[in-house]
Amino acid sequence: MKFIVLTLFKEMFDPFVNTSIIKRAIEKGIVSIDVVDIRSFTKDKHNRVDFPPYGGGSGMIMSAEPLGAAIDFAIDSLKDDGYYEILYMSPRGKVLNYNLAKEISSKKCNYIIICGHYEGIDERIIDEYNVKEISIGDYVLTGGELACQVLMDSVIRLLPGAISEDSLTEESHTNNLLEYPQYTKPYEFRGRKVPEILLSGHHKNIAEYRKQEAIRITKKFRPELIDKKIDNNDSK
């Protein structure tokens, strides 16, 4: 899977592509992430990429000209790689959750992701390129860069080979359950011991204990997920 990220702040992606699981996924060839500076496409003599909104109002809007040229460049770089979609990180978009991350990771598709900044982008980009908008939650960030990293991270870890299959199957939000509590060494921490059953070596009992704990934790923190799970099972 290929991601081409369009941003005014390329440097914000340096730690993302150079750390941990994402770095390894890139090294293994599971994913590629190209980060493109929208400013390099401006024809403005002062290198400007944003202007005040027509009709007045506060802040600046990212101009359609350099952004359109950056998108055309990205489309051209993907021309031999099959299907692609253009996404815009936006507080008004479809809210990211596990199912959406799964859907994006499962498609045979490459993605061009636009990161907005200031007051956002000229609306005509959305119409011209049939852009899909994705939000990472009902709040407003300064820019789309962190949102884009959240989206890519949630998608990349679901790509085959990025992390072990076992880690994925019992993770929070798979099957509409949150993960059971986890423990590691030392056995005793400030008088608190690891539950004895986890030391028993009895895999079936441990699996059942963890399942019950996952249900308990989900009921405690996100009871609405349990209702969804019951609905899904009923409809099968």
Q: Catalog residues that contact ligand SAM under the rule CB under 6 A.
A: 89-92, 115-117, 119-120, 135-137, 139-144, 147
- Within 8 A by CB and 6+ apart from 194, the residues are 183, 187, 188
Residue whose C-alpha is closest to residue 159's, from 34, 21, 36 = 21
Rounded least distance, CB 48 to ligand SAM, Å: 17
Nearest CB to ligand SAM, comparing residues 66 and 120: 120
DSSP state of 121: B
Nearest CB to ligand SAM, comparing residues 37 and 170: 37
Question: Which tokens in the block code for residue 28?
Answer: 């293994």
Nearest CB to ligand SAM, comparing residues 142 and 167: 142
Rounded least distance, CB 144 to ligand SAM, Å: 3
Rounded least distance, CB 117 to ligand SAM, Å: 5
Residue indicated by tokens 């403005």? 44
Rounded least distance, CB 137 to ligand SAM, Å: 5
Nearest CB to ligand SAM, comparing residues 135 and 176: 135
Residue at shortest CB range from ligand SAM: 116
Residue indicated by tokens 């390099």? 40
Number of H helices, E strands in the chain: 9, 9
* H or E stretch at 59: none
Residue whose C-alpha is closest to residue 132's, from 97, 90, 69, 100 = 90
| 155 neighbors 101 (Cβ within 8 angstroms) | yes
Nearest CB to ligand SAM, comparing residues 7 and 176: 7
Rounded least distance, CB 136 to ligand SAM, Å: 4
* Cα–Cα distance measured from residue 133 to residue 116, given in angstroms and rounded to the nearest whole number: 11
Nearest CB to ligand SAM, comparing residues 74 and 214: 74
* Cα–Cα distance measured from residue 55 to residue 69, given in angstroms and rounded to the nearest whole number: 25
Rounded least distance, CB 126 to ligand SAM, Å: 11
* DSSP-assigned beta bridge partners for residue 112: 4, 86
